[in-house]
Structure 1
Amino acid sequence: MEMNETEMMLKGYGLTTAEMFYRLPDYRNVLNSFVWQDYDIAPDHPRLFSFIEFWQEKIEGPLHSVRFTHRKMISPGEWRNVVGEFRYT
């Protein structure tokens, strides 16, 4: 079953953004960049490393370098379910 973004964030996932620099297959001296973004778990980053493995197996442009950042949007202690509503008139 697929989790939605809120469920993922409550389970410890954070937004991971990676910028990948790769060489063009026909022009090895030219670097190009690709930005990848997904919800992932730090510090292991299984989705990021899975994508890097996919790139190395399926994409012709060899990776030069990868830099990434990870940010948790919310944590379980910061979110609470509000049941009631107060109106002031």
Structure 2
Amino acid sequence: MATSDLLQQLHGYSLTTAEILYRLPDFPKLIQSFVWQDYDYAPEFPKLQEFLDYWRTHLDGPLHRITVTHKSLVSPTELRYLDGRLVLH
């Protein structure tokens, strides 16, 4: 599984988290929260779109708001070269 996740990251996928707020079917004034997380390709987010399409067609709770964040875990390393010398006694 870890090898598969690494391969996805090398192909441009990033860790994507979506907070989905939806209304309860029996109590439409109440809003419930659901957190979805997977590796997805930004900015299209095909896996998230597929999940939301499933939600709309098979679940009764109407969607209220979706907040999406993503972070690329495999990125160039940040290096700083320092000019100097440290002497220890």
- Report the TM-score range of the alignment, normalised by the length of the smaller protein: 0.7 to 0.9
Percent identity between matched residues is: 45
What's the TM-score, normalizing by structure 2? 0.80
Aligned to 1:18, the other structure's residue is in SS state strand
Matched, 1:8 2:8: yes
Matched residue, 1:31: 31
Matched residue, 2:71: 71
Aligned to 1:4, the other structure's residue is in SS state helix
Q: What are structure 1's unaligned runs of at least 5 residues? A: 79-89
Structure number, greater radius of gyration: 2
What's the TM-score, normalizing by structure 1? 0.80
Which 4+ runs in 1 deviate beyond 4 A? Answer: none
Q: What are structure 2's unaligned runs of at least 5 residues? A: 78-89
